[in-house]
Amino acid sequence: MSDIENNKEDDEQNFFKSNPEEKNTETNSKNDKYSQSPNPYSKSQKNTHQSNEDMIDGATYYKNFIRDPGIEGRKASRVLFVRSFNNWIKAVLINKYTHLLGYDYSVLDLGCGRGGDLNKFFQTKVKLYVGADISEESLKNAMERLKKIKNEKYRDNFKVKCYFITEDLSESNNHLMEKINSVFRFDLVTCNFSLHYHFQSEERVRTFLVNVVSRLCDGGYFIGTIIDDNVIVKRLRNRKYNGNSYIDEKFKFGNEFYFCQFYQKRFNKSNGPYGIKYGFYLEDSLDKRDEIGQIKSVKEYLIIFEEFVKLCKEYDLYLVEKKNFLNFYQENLKNNQYEKLFYKMVNLNSSSINQQWEIVQLYRIFAFRKGKQFANNENSNNNFKYVPFLSQTNIPFTNYEPELIQSSFK
């Protein structure tokens, strides 16, 4: 493995020689409009070599720096289009798959953060919501948000049981499973914008998958949103064509609102498709500066999706859908209900909209189903009807000792 500083030539071919499928999911891929508006950070950052130390570890970031900007703070964000669009994508994804589960389903939301998806679940037939996250600070935000939603929207009519657990979900001695009653199985497991943190090593991904699969019902779904590796590779390869000195920095691409910076030219093959780190910055979301205003990006690990699909099969999880956000948007906007929701949720008045479209295309959705027979059933479209765990059993909530879950948070 060699370091960026020791390699003078710009040999981008060394990146992911075996680039998986390169689908044409991007608009403007070669004519990206990165240079259209001046970058506020280019002066201070342009000629400053960034090292690994400019990245901040994801766990540290979420444990120490994450703060809820509140609804007003959120509205003031320059990337409100990105935030609202991505929230619409998640709302559609959740709606689509929970629709297949029927009434009174249960969900385990891994990496639930500040509870940004709570309301999306409450719009569906959910009966039990359990959110887990490494950051206690974020979970406090989520609990506050839950209180607010209950009081403002539902009052005494709120029927969903909600619990929150603090845990590092890919740490080998995590206790997630001990905190949830062993007989319990969820119908749905979700993971939005956080799967990449577990790709530090194979061991971590496997631990995370054990957490997913050991509490998922047969026939249940594992859904989520992640960075699209195809798009990352494509932008990395195209970066030098964009004629902007800011993004011409080696192994770095982005625009006024975000950047993605790799630090290695070659990847250590002995680690397999794990530990491929890069720094990610997104204004107002993954946004941290040091004392002199220099940006510190947050460290993430690339998910080589094809490898992830293979690994999931070992855990009885079978891919039923994967799509870049752009394709998922185009497909689902044809549905009247989702189209209405789009115009209700998505803020189209945001400025620099082209640059924001570039950001949403960095992501993809995925959906896996547990059990080969169910994945096949879906393909052959027979009449199999999924029955949620809570309606198959008559165990009242108190038997699940939910306070056990809650007490772990104290």
**Site for ligand GTG, rule CB under 6 A:** 71, 74, 82-83, 86-87, 114, 116, 119, 145, 148-149, 193-194, 227, 280, 282, 285-286, 300
Q: How far is the CB of 212 from ligand GTG (least distance, A)?
A: 18
Nearer to ligand GTG, 118 or 180 (CB): 118
Contacting residues for 218 by C-beta, under 8 A, at least 6 apart: 370, 371, 374
Distances in Å between the Cα of 76 and the Cα atoms of 90, 226, 280, 340 are 21, 25, 22, 24
Give the separation between CA 299 and CA 57, rounded to whole angstroms: 5
Tokens representing 38 are 């001046």
Nearer to ligand GTG, 111 or 219 (CB): 111
Nearer to ligand GTG, 114 or 296 (CB): 114
Nearer to ligand GTG, 29 or 87 (CB): 87
> Which amino acid, residue 138?
S
Nearest to 318 by CA among 222, 401, 187: 222
Q: How far is the CB of 160 from ligand GTG (least distance, A)?
A: 14
Ramachandran class of 221: left when φ > 0, alpha when ψ lies in -120 to 50, beta otherwise? beta
Supply the DSSP symbol for 286: B
Q: How far is the CB of 108 from ligand GTG (least distance, A)?
A: 18
Q: How far is the CB of 73 from ligand GTG (least distance, A)?
A: 8
Ramachandran class of 155: left when φ > 0, alpha when ψ lies in -120 to 50, beta otherwise? left
How remote is the C-alpha of 157 from its chain's centroid? 31
Which residue bears the tokens 């689509």?
96
Nearer to ligand GTG, 16 or 280 (CB): 280
Task: State phi, psi for 7 to the nearest 5 degrees.
Answer: -120, 105
Task: State phi, psi for 388 to the nearest 5 degrees.
Answer: -60, 150
Nearer to ligand GTG, 228 or 370 (CB): 228
Tokens representing 256 are 């006024």
Other C-beta atoms lying within 10 Å of the C-beta of residue 20: 13
Give the separation between CA 81 and CA 145, rounded to whole angstroms: 22
Nearer to ligand GTG, 187 or 228 (CB): 228
Nearer to ligand GTG, 193 or 274 (CB): 193
Task: State phi, psi for 409 to the nearest 5 degrees.
Answer: -80, -25
Nearer to ligand GTG, 86 or 242 (CB): 86
Residue 200 near residue 208 (C-beta atoms within 8 A)? no
Nearest to 120 by CA among 145, 86, 90: 90
Supply the DSSP symbol for 84: H
